Amino acid sequence: MKRQPLLIGSIVLVSVLVLAAVAAPWIAPYDPMAQSILRRFRPPSAEHWLGTDQFGRDTFSRMLYGARASLTVSVAAVGTALLVGGTLGLLAAFYRGWCDRISMRLMDVLFAFPVMLLAIGVVAILGPTSSSAAVAIAVVYTPIFARLIRAPALVIASSDFVMGARAIGASNARILVHHMLPNLASVILVQTSLLLSAAILVEASLAFLGLGTQPPAPSLGLMLSEGRNVLSFSPWIAVFSGLGIVLLAFGFNLMGDALRDRLDPRLAGHG
Amino acid sequence: MILRVAGQRLGDLALVMLGMSFLVFAMIRLVPGDAVAIMLGANTEVTPERMAALRAELGLDQPMLVQYGVWLSNVLTGDLGRSLWTGRPVAAEIAGHVWPTVQLTVVALVLGAGLAVPLGCLMATWRGRWADGLLRIVTVLGLTIPSFWFGILMILTLSILAPEVQALGYVPFSEDPLGNLARLALPALALALPILANLARLVRSAMLDALAQDYIRTARAKGLSERAVVYRHALANALIPFVTSVGIMTGYLLGGAIVVEQVFAIPGLGRLVLGAISERNYPLLQATILVITASFVLINFAVDLLYAAIDPRIRA
């Protein structure tokens, strides 16, 4: 088997980032909310690795908690979208007919909106909180999952082994769960990783616009927006919080990309 | 044949527009709690009289479908309603904010798509394990660096290198054409980066595909120059998927512009949308979302037709 440094590298990167975010309460050197007037706007030092912000809060600790918040919202949103959209796409491909036509028309309508605008619209309805941001991202990615799953599911549904399973009397549920799902696993894995990367960016954008996590809770997008206001004299807040967003989104995107090469040999070699 | 396809596409277009407009219309009714009280509460004292008046003004006291019919026919005749607090026509508010956004989007699209073609061709000539891996890391970075962070980094760099240059804000083209373009350069670059990465990568893999085809071997065998082979024969075919992607990218650009406008303090539709959200001005918000989305749908419709025009296989 060919060695795959990109796949291994991206899995290591994602694991380190996810572990750091999950373990934030144990590894963060400071309380992310603790304010100190005496320690405002400290540049990076041995004491505060990535400096402090306008309230004297430790940037590194806030980034760890921010990454945790970002991942929680993105994973919940993409998970919901996968469950709803994926199920719709699978059932539409399997049953065809009116079920397929109606659900795909509905998805077309959601597809009509630019992603960011739809997310902003949903948050405008529900009010700006991190859970609204999660719902917004789930709404945006549901039609995407439905389409992504439906196309390969259509091919599998008409393949010989599904016909064979039907011929020996397998029930619809059995065919869906035991024959179709395992064959869609690689598509699901790749797309989930890629869409997690995109969801992290949408979550950060919403928080940056003031439409996601609200202060004083730590969030990477919110830190970036706060850092923007003090850019001229303490640029480290904006620089590091943005770097955190990039690392998270980059890790998941590269992992999805490398997984696609590994799992779908037809696409290998096309960077 | 072509007429039938065009008719079918028009039918799809009408359905999507109808569904999309209904969702936008229904927004205000999906607000949890009493939207009227929330709207008033964000701006003034809530009294039963004011609530009844606003409810009547917005038609919320009528059956939903009746109200949708009235709203849709108004929209189709160009009446987008009135902004809640200023009383100005929403169409005028949008017209006052649309140009910075259109300019930003178009410049970013031209920049991203324009640079992607030569860059993708260049990338297609670098092959092999190391080049593939490196190009992949660079393009994935381009895709995942958020435009707002990239924009902030550029502002920061500029403020260190040339503190006297004003990077923020917007000057209308009619007042100061050079200043207008100069101020647009950084925001457009920030907005264009992901589409540049995405399209350059797409051009590269389409070129590699095209160059492996039999007709390229034929072209080489009949003695055409390498340049003619690459640019006239391979690129012509590689551009077909490129055109579709450009249509989809406009959706990203229109959404991304909202964020980039915020970074660079550009008074475009993004500012209108965010302002409408913070003051709970739902009629203004609905109309702005409707206009942006309808433009996106129409652009994709045009791209679809263009796609059919350049690729005869689609028409069948």
Return the top range by mean pLDDT from A161-170, A262-271, B284-293: B284-293
Cα A77 from Cα A136, distance rounded (Å) = 8
Please spell the DSSP secondary structure of A159-202, one letter per residue: SHHHHHHHHTT--HHHIIIIIIHHHHHHHHHHHHHHHHHHHHHH
Which pLDDT score, from 0 to 100, does residue B312 have?
Answer: 64
Question: A58 has which bridge partners?
Answer: A52
- Residue A269 pLDDT: 43
Mean pLDDT across the stretch B86-107? Answer: 90
How far, CA to CA in Å, does B226 sit from each of B110, B121, B142, B222? 27, 13, 30, 11
Residue among B152, B205, B285 whose CB faces A231 most closely: B152
Chain mean position to CA A108: 22
Query: How many Cα atoms within 13 Å fall on the side-chain side of residue B299?
Result: 25
> Between these two residues, B173 and A3, which has the higher pLDDT value?
B173
In the predicted structure, residue A100 carries a pLDDT above the cut 70: yes
Q: Is the pLDDT of residue B34 over 80?
A: no
Residue B69 has pLDDT above 50, yes or no: yes
The length of chain A, given as a count of residues = 271
pLDDT for the residue numbered A201: 96
pLDDT exceeds cutoff 80 at A126: yes
- Residues in B touching A116 (Cβ below 8 Å): 252, 254-256, 258-259
Which chain B residues have a beta carbon less than 8 Å from that of A210?
Answer: 274, 278
Q: Which of B15, B140, B209 sits opposite A250 (nearest CB)?
A: B140
Q: A21-36: per-residue pLDDT in tens?
A: 998 899 888 888 878 7
Give phi and psi for B82, each to the nearest 5: -115, 145
**Which positions in chain B touch A270 (Cβ < 8 Å)?**
204-205, 208-209
Q: How many residues does chain B have?
A: 316
Put simply, the answer to whether A246 touches B254 (Cβ < 8 Å) is no
More confidently predicted of A50 and A128 = A128
Averaged over B88-92, what is the pLDDT?
89
Nearest CA in chain A to B135: A271
- pLDDT of A1 strictly over 50: no
Contact B283, B84 (CB under 8 A): yes
Q: Inform me whether the pLDDT recorded for B316 exceeds 70.
A: no
Domain limits of chain B? Answer: 2-76, 91-315
Query: At the topology level of CATH, where does A5-22+57-267 sit?
Result: MetI-like fold (1.10.3720)
pLDDT averaged over every residue in chain B: 86
Mean pLDDT along residues B261-278: 92
Assess contact for A221 and A237: CB atoms under 8 A.
Answer: no
* Lowest-pLDDT range of A183-187, A222-226, B20-24, B121-125: B121-125
Q: Which band of pLDDT confidence, cut at 50, 70 and 90, is reported for residue A3?
A: low
Q: Would you call A270 and B209 a contact, using CB atoms and an 8 Å cutoff?
A: yes
C-beta neighbour count of A158 within 10 angstroms? 11
Confidence of residue A43 (pLDDT cuts 50, 70, 90): confident
d(CA B138, CA A66): 26
Nearest to B291 by CA among B7, B19, B90: B90
Q: Chain A contact for B273, CB < 8 A?
A: yes
Give CA–CA dist A48/A34, Å, rounded: 13
Q: Does B23 touch chain A (CB under 8 A)?
A: yes
Q: For chain A, what are the domain ranges?
A: 5-22+57-267
ipTM of the complex: 0.89
pLDDT band at B222 (very low <50, low <70, confident <90, very high): confident
Residue B200 has pLDDT above 60, yes or no: yes
Predicted TM-score of the model (pTM): 0.91
CATH of B91-315, one of 3.40.190.10, 3.40.50.720, 3.40.50.300, 1.10.3720.10: 1.10.3720.10
Say whether A114 and B32 touch across the interface (CB within 8 A). no
